[in-house]
Structure 1
């Protein structure tokens, strides 16, 4: 990938950084794509995370053979622009992300993690200012309980299939995943929707009644006569 591609990627992410997950969700809806997932929340503060997915799939341990720590190789291969996406089936009785992974990811320039499961070492993540979205916190270690199935392959997060390089946006409202091949079109649609919503907000502040300002056709960008 050359510098021009890098610049385009960063410009794409910058466009998404200016939008809320709710607006992107509406644009995904309009495009017939999965509209996002709730229940994975920031485990400290209110950090927003936007980046390209680096995927890891986990599963229960089937034997006691020791191996590389889960997600370690994926974190080591990650870098600026990435968000780790950990598929653990929503399991909350064991941690699928911890403090050393947060430190390793922060040192690699990774932007954050979205974990479909529980995490631990929340204080470490907070002190590192490393954003962690998860189903909750739990002290139980993954060692002897979880194994890594794959890294860099498509994963299933709730009802959404996420591939490496898809755009991830996580904020207080939830998490949205945008297929990379549709990322530009969805961004343009979301930006247009954001402009319409801002115009409605301006009208409300100017005294226009809510039912007059907030019409479905206007929100949808349908020209009214």
Structure 2
């Protein structure tokens, strides 16, 4: 296993809530809600491959959106699509899921809507989006950029950042801070597990939740 794959495996073992708390402790933007798995309960961690879309302003559409991005993506990657939260037009569809699945891409997170969810489910390809809509992107959207920093809700995603998505939402970890955030998240997970064990053993909830372990003050060191 490469060092990159090992890093992603360690993030995949955590949930977005814990990593969001770790981002807070490290002085970084926390996770975001509203980006939901469109089928099942997948958990995906990968390095961001970024795309920004924009409304089509003329008749010339050029290449179909995402095709060049998918062609260059690989098995450690998650495609991140910036589309301004639009839910009236699809920013990801079934053929794109097929292409990404063939490339062993880990999943897609789109700040917008998607379609052809049944096809993605049959492929086992995780799609996180704000909504489903049948309206095609053809004639409505074009690709503004690929491989550039993009806005995913309130967070800026740079190519190569670690993206973790599950049923709780999405977190973005700057690549250069990933080891620090990972270590903070591990400590927080251990604290919460210990507190949960106390509660299950009969420790009163106010006493358990008052435990300084929950504050995670060590996580920022």
Same fold (TM over 0.5): yes
The residue correspondences of 1:196-211 to structure 2 (distance < 5 A) are 196-211=191-206
SS of match in other structure, 2:2: helix
Question: Which stretch shows the higher mean deviation, 6-15 or 38-47?
Answer: 6-15
- Equivalent in 125, 132, 136 of residue 120 of structure 2: 125
Displaced runs of 4 or more, over 3 A: none
- Equivalent in 134, 137, 140 of residue 142 of structure 1: 137
| Distance (Å, rounded) in 2 between the aligned partners of 1:92 and 1:222 | 39
* 1:3 alignment partner in structure 2: none
Q: Does 1:187 align with 2:179?
A: no
Cα-to-partner distance string for 1:144-195 (whole Å, 9 max, x where unaligned): 1000011111001111000011000111111000000100000000000000
Deviation of residue 222 (structure 1)? 5.1
- Equivalent in 205, 211, 214 of residue 209 of structure 2: 214
Q: Does 1:176 align with 2:174?
A: no
* 2:157 alignment partner in structure 1: 162
SS of match in other structure, 2:86: strand
| Distance (Å, rounded) in 2 between the aligned partners of 1:36 and 1:63 | 36
| Distance (Å, rounded) in 2 between the aligned partners of 1:13 and 1:93 | 33
* 1:77 alignment partner in structure 2: 72
* TM-score, scaled relative to structure 2: 0.96
> Structure 1 residues 205 and 141 mapped into 2: Cα distance closer, same or farther (>3 Å)?
same
Deviation of residue 221 (structure 1)? 3.9
* TM-score, scaled relative to structure 1: 0.94
Q: Which runs of 5+ in 1 are unaligned?
A: 1-5
Deviation of residue 220 (structure 1)? 2.3
Equivalenced residues, count: 218
- Equivalent in 17, 27, 37 of residue 12 of structure 2: 17
CA-based RMSD of the aligned residues comes to 1.2
Q: Which runs of 5+ in 2 are unaligned?
A: none
Deviation of residue 217 (structure 1)? 2.1
